[in-house]
Amino acid sequence: MPDSEISTGRRGVLGAALVGAAGVAAGVVGGYVTAPNGGPHVRVDGRARFRDKVVLITGATSGIGAAAAKMFAAEGAKVAFCGRRTDRGAEVERAIRDAGGDARYIRADVRVEDDVRKFVDAAAEAYGGLDVCFNNAGVTIERPAYEFSTAEWEDVINTNLRGNFFALKYQVPHLIRRGGGVVVVTSSTVAIATGPKRAAYAATKRGLIGFVQAAAQDLADKNIRVNALLPGTTNTELIRRVAGMMNIPDAAWEAAIAQWGKSNVSVAHRVAQPEEIAAAAVMMASSEFTYMNAAQIIVDGGMTAHA
């Protein structure tokens, strides 16, 4: 499941499995084992593919969104991004600026239409327009379908589906004025194959596939491409919070998620690092893929290849 601004709910299926994995890790070295980062270091290639381009990202104060903000900036983009957590937003903005990039954090809650409108318009005004939009914000709550409260169900729907509608609604006029652009929407491999306690999340992520396919057709004659990115399980704060493991030592978490990846990701035998998913978003948004439209790009280490 991809990253998001927040996640709530009781420990789900993933959490239960990780608790067992954490137990395996205990007592190795001082009670815990320091796990490797689980994947290759992802580097930008220096081509500056987004020089003079303006990139807008929702849900970029941590995880995939934050990694994407840094990667787009390293490729030369001017990056405007939002999220609810101002301290995290300031940290990401500072990191990009310290590395020589150009970024601006603007607080916005994608569930609130006026927040989204103001964020998009402020970003376009600050940088003179929009070229690329990475609509990444999302949340999950894990519990049996019949146990969701109405408020919980609506929170997931309003963030993941309604928030994407708001984002696209206010981005499109700016993209049209620019002569076209690219929109990448974060869905999930849960849209393809899901499990228990993910009814709300699966409904929204599968719904986003239909949203992207229809929007791509609506916008094709305006030179705007719209595609869906479907990440597999990624080592982010979202899955750590869902697993109920925010308060354990980092080393124990890394050991647990590494063990879970070996057992559950059938080809790669590990979960993704946020930078690996961000790299896919950068690829999809680049001018090298002009014939990619209404597509579903799966980046899951082969997880869904195993029935």
Q: Is 42 helix (H, G, I), strand (E, B) or coil?
A: coil
Alpha-carbon distance of 12 to 199, in angstroms, equals 12
Task: Say if residue 87 is exposed, middle or buried (CB neighbours under 10 Å; 0-12, 13-18, 19+).
Answer: exposed
Assess contact for 127 and 54: CB atoms under 8 A: yes
Alpha-carbon distance of 37 to 215, in angstroms, equals 37
Looking up tokens 């849960």, which residue turns up? 190
Alpha-carbon distance of 285 to 168, in angstroms, equals 15
Single-letter amino acid, residue 10: R
Alpha-carbon distance of 249 to 272, in angstroms, equals 20
Residues 105, 127, 201, 291: which is the catalytic one?
201
Q: How many residues does the chain have?
A: 307
Assess contact for 108 and 163: CB atoms under 8 A: no
Alpha-carbon distance of 163 to 173, in angstroms, equals 17
Determine whether 201 is an active site residue.
yes
Alpha-carbon distance of 207 to 178, in angstroms, equals 28
* Stretch (H or E) spanning 131: none
φ/ψ region of 225 (left if φ > 0, alpha if ψ in -120 to 50, else beta) reads beta
Q: What is the DSSP letter of 70?
A: H
Greatest C-alpha distance within the chain: 61
Alpha-carbon distance of 259 to 115, in angstroms, equals 40
Active-site positions read 201
